[in-house]
């Protein structure tokens, strides 16, 4: 397997296990995170922790970033470009979830320095990140994708879905399906509970049928157990739903289900303590609409 020196920028809930998988695959990692203590554990696995993103790029062939939003990525990218740390032939793989237009702007800024971009957002949550089974949706050129493939395969299953920005568009499509399905699973779970059925037994009964999905099995269990320890947060899901609607507006599309789910996550995230719960906590917003009972 090809081994590379990689600058890894961002070690939050998703980034930390993704970086750990790259280390296990034998890649050399130079790691930076805005909150330094979130990167410390990776030093024990062989990563070099850097004080500045530009420092992390020293000697790196590729850059992997996974940050909160497009503004955060753009800010770090500008810092690295201003410091002269981005070199010709470098490949920047942004695995954050941003808008397609933001990915195209990133690519243009890097192109001016002779560097390349792949937008490669992921789906699968922290469980998928830990197991190196993330779905990785990639936008960019075939040659860049081929170059990055050994790195991406250490974290999951990469698929090139189109030119720059297409990976982010695929992620928005993914998040529309996820958000809307969470809403449907929340309604099904509450109906089962209030009607006297066992939600866990019902999920087993539905397994393998048309209604089955990871959202049903994993998030349905979170809902019926009342365990909303974050994998993907409500705050992040709300950001994604807003990006979906912004992209739809640019395309002249009306997406009524996405609009409804965005409004519900907005209401949920009005309580700051709920914004950091797992996005399956949309179930709590549904319970607020339906007070009473044991569900």
Active site amino acids: 171
Supply angle C-alpha 166, 171, 174, rounded to 5. Answer: 130
**Terminal CA-CA length for the chain:** 51
At a CB cut-off of 8 Å and minimum separation 6, what does 133 contact?
A: 124, 156, 157
Q: What does the DSSP 8-state code read for residue 233?
A: B
Q: Both tokens of residue 100?
A: 């397609």
- Tell me, rounded to whole angstroms, the distance of Cα 288 from its chain centroid: 28
Phi/psi at 47 (5° precision): -80, 150
Q: How many CB atoms lie under 10 A from the CB of residue 221?
A: 15
Give the separation between CA 121 and CA 114, rounded to whole angstroms: 23
Residue 262 tokens read as 């965005």
Burial of 71 (0-12, 13-18, 19+ CB in 10 A): exposed
The answer to whether the CB of 119 falls within 8 A of the CB of 94 is yes
């Amino acid at each position: 397997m090809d081994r590379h020196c990689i600058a890894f920028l961002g070690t939050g809930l998703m980034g930390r296990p993704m970086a750990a998988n790259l280390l296990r695959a034998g890649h050399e990692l130079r790691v930076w995170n805005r909150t330094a203590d979130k990167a410390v554990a990776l030093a024990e696995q062989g990563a070099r922790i850097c004080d500045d993103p530009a420092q992390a790029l020293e000697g790196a062939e590729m850059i992997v970033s996974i940050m909160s939003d497009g503004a955060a990525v753009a800010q770090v990218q500008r810092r690295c470009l201003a410091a002269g740390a981005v070199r010709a032939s470098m490949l920047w793989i942004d695995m954050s979830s941003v808008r397609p237009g933001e990915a195209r702007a990133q690519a243009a800024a890097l192109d001016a320095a002779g560097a390349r971009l792949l937008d490669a957002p992921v789906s699968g949550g922290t469980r998928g990140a830990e197991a190196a089974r993330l779905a990785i949706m990639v936008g960019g050129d075939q040659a860049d994708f081929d170059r990055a493939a050994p790195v991406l395969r250490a974290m999951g299953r990469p698929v090139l879905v189109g030119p720059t920005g297409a990976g982010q568009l695929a992620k928005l499509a993914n998040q529309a399906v996820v958000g809307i399905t969470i809403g449907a699973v929340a309604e099904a779970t509450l109906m089962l509970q209030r009607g006297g059925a066992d939600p866990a037994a019902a999920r087993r009964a539905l397994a393998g049928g048309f209604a089955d999905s990871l959202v049903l099995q994993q998030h349905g269990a979170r809902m019926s157990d009342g365990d909303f320890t974050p994998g993907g947060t409500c705050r992040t899901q709300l950001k994604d739903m807003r990006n979906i609607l912004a992209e739809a507006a640019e395309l002249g599309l009306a997406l009524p289900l996405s609009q409804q789910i965005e409004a519900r996550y907005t209401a949920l995230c009005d309580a700051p303590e709920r914004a950091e719960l797992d996005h399956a906590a949309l179930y709590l917003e549904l319970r607020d609409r339906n007070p009473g009972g044991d569900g």
